[in-house]
Amino acid sequence: MSTSNGFVMANSGGVAPSIGAELPLGPGQPPILIPLITGQYNNVVSVGLKPGFVVVVPVVRKEFKGANPWIMISAFHLKIDGCVGQSFVRSYATLTRITDESDVVLSYVGSTKAV
């Protein structure tokens, strides 16, 4: 498995001379020798993969004061570039509440969606 960035392109080609023979089905006919020249051309494109690469995209960080904090995010678009194969997206939110008596951290994790 490759861990290179991007992709690799490779080309190769060649020429090979040979001699073929045609054997007749009827009696009394001599075999016929046929000179042959064969050629080949190969083109290879290889993509370097990096499995398990995770990117965290922060959307907003907001501080609230009061007893009923509320935030709404809508029409958020995400574009995945340079990925070969299936990708997954999962949303999350982390809420931190700090008072004189305690500190509380809650994390809400959404379901994983295949893209």
Indicate the average pLDDT of the chain: 80
pLDDT band at 1 (very low <50, low <70, confident <90, very high): very low
Instruction: Please indicate, yes or no, whether the overall pTM of this predicted structure exceeds 0.75.
Output: no
**Nearest Cα to 43, choosing from 16, 15, 12?**
12
pLDDT at 103: 93
Tell me how far apart the alpha carbons of residues 35 and 66 are, in angstroms, rounded to a whole number: 92
**Nearest Cα to 84, choosing from 53, 38, 105, 39?**
53
pLDDT band at 63 (very low <50, low <70, confident <90, very high): confident
pLDDT at 50: 66
Burial call 34-52: b when 16+ CB within 10 Å, e when fewer:
eeeeeeeeeeeeeeeeeee
pLDDT over 70 (residue 74): yes
Residue with tokens 């959307």: 59
